[in-house]
Structure 1
């Protein structure tokens, strides 16, 4: 077997963690609503459930979220790839991104910001703290409600998010999640033993 080359080049510090989720964030201030794409987002805490988004202060939605203290993280799918890209490169200051992308809004249950109906999971958030970091400010938020599309809930009430075709973003490109490699804990899970039948032979 040919040996792999594990030599490294040293680059200057940069943000390169990949892949990340390109989510559509919706917000509302007064009667104005907007949607924009964020890739700097993720889990902060389990109990209480907390998340974050990091946003450049010059973005149109920054002031709306700061004023309202609320937003919704809408997970994206392969079908929402166009909208995810468009909403990341066009500003709500001069473009109705809902009209241009065909995104449909719906009422949230706990916040005033709207949901995106086509998203499989909508995460309703209320800002707890704003942390000034540099190029971005982090909106730390409590997750106050989840809205789950019924088509991804099975008969036992289990969320089958693997069927949603979630979108990923890596180094400037969008990807649909592909082959499943294993479930949580698969590396330490014991393999099931084959049972012998009554004749003493191994079952087929």
Structure 2
């Protein structure tokens, strides 16, 4: 029997994404966002939701761009820190030793030590009360070469992306392969 948990942010899993922007003074900044995901494929787009009170928010609006650096197990503590403090109070890059890199396609920095990076041009904003959802058109995806499958796609078993469980507030990573997509369900397709 399933137990009702009411309306809550308990979808499983949520990403641990470092959203990078230059602040209003041009200083690199990054914050962790768990509210995000792919939202379109033509053009390729993703969303991240940010509270207007966050330091990163104004920078995204000013520069019309942001990056998503996908955190991995190797930088879990650094990623956690990026979500604990505000960039208007401390230089998160100086404290953690992480390296901001100027985006190649957008006016926003990404984090060198994070294995997977997505550069986005701000396309749209949607006011959701406590958060504003930024829709970013993906201008480029970069991945460490040793984290690729077949030399062309990020491999989750190599990237080892952090995922977050909102209810328990615990980080996890991906598990083993289960099966091939658009293949396992073929047994239910009727043959004419």
Question: TM exceeds 0.5?
Answer: yes
Unaligned 5+ runs, structure 2? 188-192
**Aligned residue for 1:166?**
161
- 4+ residue segments displaced more than 6 Å: none
Structure (1 or 2) with the larger CA radius of gyration: 1
Give the alignment of 1:23-38 within 5 angstroms. Answer: 23-29=17-23, 30-38=25-33
Q: Do the aligned partners of residues 169 and 159 (structure 1) sit closer, same or farther apart at CA in structure 2, a change above 3 Å counting?
A: same
Match of 1:138 among 122, 133, 142: 133
Deviations 1:15-37 (A, max 9, x none): 11011111111101442110100
**Aligned residue for 1:196?**
none
Tell me the SS of whatever aligns to 1:89: coil
Deviation, 1:45, is: 0.4
Equivalent-residue separation in structure 2 for 1:50 and 1:80 (angstroms):
25
**Aligned residue for 1:50?**
45
Equivalent-residue separation in structure 1 for 2:161 and 2:113 (angstroms):
12
Deviation, 1:188, is: 2.8
TM superposition score normalised by structure 2: 0.88
Unaligned 5+ runs, structure 1? 1-5, 191-204
CA RMSD of aligned residues (A): 1.6
| Greater percentage in strand | 2
Deviations 1:142-186 (A, max 9, x none): 1111112122235x5332522121111113100121222222134
Match of 1:84 among 63, 79, 82: 79
Q: Do the aligned partners of residues 50 and 185 (structure 1) sit closer, same or farther apart at CA in structure 2, a change above 3 Å counting?
A: same
- Does residue 39 of the first structure (1) align with residue 14 of the second (2)? no
Equivalent-residue separation in structure 2 for 1:185 and 1:118 (angstroms):
33
Match of 2:116 among 121, 142, 155: 121
Tell me the SS of whatever aligns to 1:95: coil
**Aligned residue for 1:176?**
173
Match of 1:188 among 185, 188, 191: 185
- Does residue 19 of the first structure (1) align with residue 13 of the second (2)? yes
